[in-house]
Amino acid sequence: SAVISQKPSRDICQRGTSLTIQCQVDSQVTMMFWYRQQPGQSLTLIATANQGSEATYESGFVIDKFPISRPNLTFSTLTVSNMSPEDSSIYLCSVDDRADGYTFGSGTRLTVV
Amino acid sequence: DQQVKQNSPSLSVQEGRISILNCDYTNSMFDYFLWYKKYPAEGPTFLISISSIKDKNEDGRFTVFLNKSAKHLSLHIVPSQPGDSAVYFCAASAVDNAGNMLTFGGGTRLMVKP
C-alpha cells in the first residue's frame, strides 16, 4: 500500500495567517483527497486533487479559502488561508489504493488562536 | 443528509467478548465498504474492507458482514482486546465522475475493559 508523509503534524497559528500542509506519497497516484475532521465530527471531504487540473471542491469549501496544489503524481499541498478559530481541526490527505482501501496521511492538528 | 450512519456513538465491551459495530447506508450506488480505526491525535488507519459482491470478509479477529438488502454492514471483533479501544469509522465508496469518493459514518467509540 502507499505510504504518505504529511507535514506538519501539528501547528498553532495566529488568526488571519495561512498554513500550508504537505503530503508526499511514495508512489504515483492519480487522485489525492483532502479531509477535515472537526472535534466530535466525522471526516469531511474538502476537495479532490487531480494532477494537472484544478481541484474539485465539495459544497461549503472554496478555493480562495483552501487553495490546493498538485504539481505531480506524488505530491499535493492544502493551504488554509486567513485562518480563524473555526478552522481548528485535524486535516488529512488520502489516496485511493483499492488493494488496501484508502491510505491516509498521519494528519495535521491545527489550532488557531 | 447522512448517507452513512453509525447510530451508536459508543460501545463498551468486556475483554475477551465479541464487539459488534454497526453501520447503515442509504446510497444504493455504494459498491465498496471500509472500516477504519482511529486513535486519539492520529489519522485513521485502514482495518478491513468488503466489496458489494461479497457478504463476508474475515481477517484474523476482524470480520465484516454486508447485508445489501438491508443496506447494513457490521464489524465483529472476536475476541476483543483492550488495545482495540479506539474510534471506528465505517466508510463507503461509489465510483462517480469525481472518482472513488469516500463517505464516512460518524464513528463509534469502542471501549474494551480488561
Q: What is the pLDDT along chain A (113 residues), one digit of tens a residue?
A: 678 899 998 899 999 999 999 999 999 988 888 998 766 556 788 998 988 788 989 889 999 999 999 999 999 999 999 999 999 988 989 887 655 456 778 788 899 99
CB contact under 8 A, B102 and A104: no
Residue B70 has pLDDT above 80, yes or no: yes
**Interface residue of A102, A108, A110 to substitute, partner B, most B CBs within 10 Å:** A102
* CB neighbour list of residue B97: distance below 8 Å, 6 or more residues apart: none
CB-nearest to B101 from A1, A30, A45 is A45
The three grid cell numbers given for residue A18, joined into one nine-digit string: 495561512
| Amino acid sitting at position A106 | S
Q: What residues in A contact B32, CB-CB < 8 Å? A: 98
For B91-97, what is the mean pLDDT? Answer: 67
Please give the pLDDT value at position A106. Answer: 75
Choose among A2, A10, A22, A31: nearest CA to A89.
Answer: A10
Q: Does A6 touch chain B (CB under 8 A)?
A: yes
CB-nearest to B43 from A45, A101, A106 is A106
| Cell 485562518, located at residue | A83
The three grid cell numbers given for residue A81, joined into one nine-digit string: 488561508
Comparing A76 with B105, which gets the higher pLDDT? Answer: A76
Phi, psi of A54 (to 5 degrees): -70, 150
Residue B41 has pLDDT above 60, yes or no: no
Please give the pLDDT value at position B95. Answer: 57
CB contact under 8 A, B100 and A98: yes
For B10-36, what is the mean pLDDT? Answer: 93
B49, β-bridge pairs: B34
The three grid cell numbers given for residue A83, joined into one nine-digit string: 485562518
For B14-20, what is the mean pLDDT? Answer: 98
Please give the pLDDT value at position B98. Answer: 41
Q: Exposed, middle or buried, B109 (CB in 10 Å: 0-12/13-18/19+)?
A: middle
Contact yes or no for A108/A91 (Cβ under 8 A): yes
The three grid cell numbers given for residue A37, joined into one nine-digit string: 475532521
Residue B87's alpha-carbon distances to A15, A28, A85, B47, B69, in angstroms, are 30, 30, 25, 12, 27
Distance from the A99 Cα atom to the nearest Cα atom in chain B, whole angstroms? 10
Indicate the pairing of strand B108-113 with strand B10-14. Answer: parallel
Which residue of chain B comes nearest to A38, CA vs CA?
Answer: B106
Comparing A33-42, A76-85, B41-50, B90-99, which segment has the lowest mean pLDDT?
Answer: B90-99
Contact yes or no for A22/A77 (Cβ under 8 A): yes
CA distance B85 to B30: 28
Please give the pLDDT value at position B102. Answer: 64
B residues 37-66 lying closer than 8 A (beta carbon) to A: 41-46, 49
Please give the pLDDT value at position A42. Answer: 60
CA distance B79 to B57: 17
CA A91 to chain centre: 5
Residue B13 has pLDDT above 90, yes or no: yes
Cα-atom radius of gyration of chain B, to the nearest Å?
14
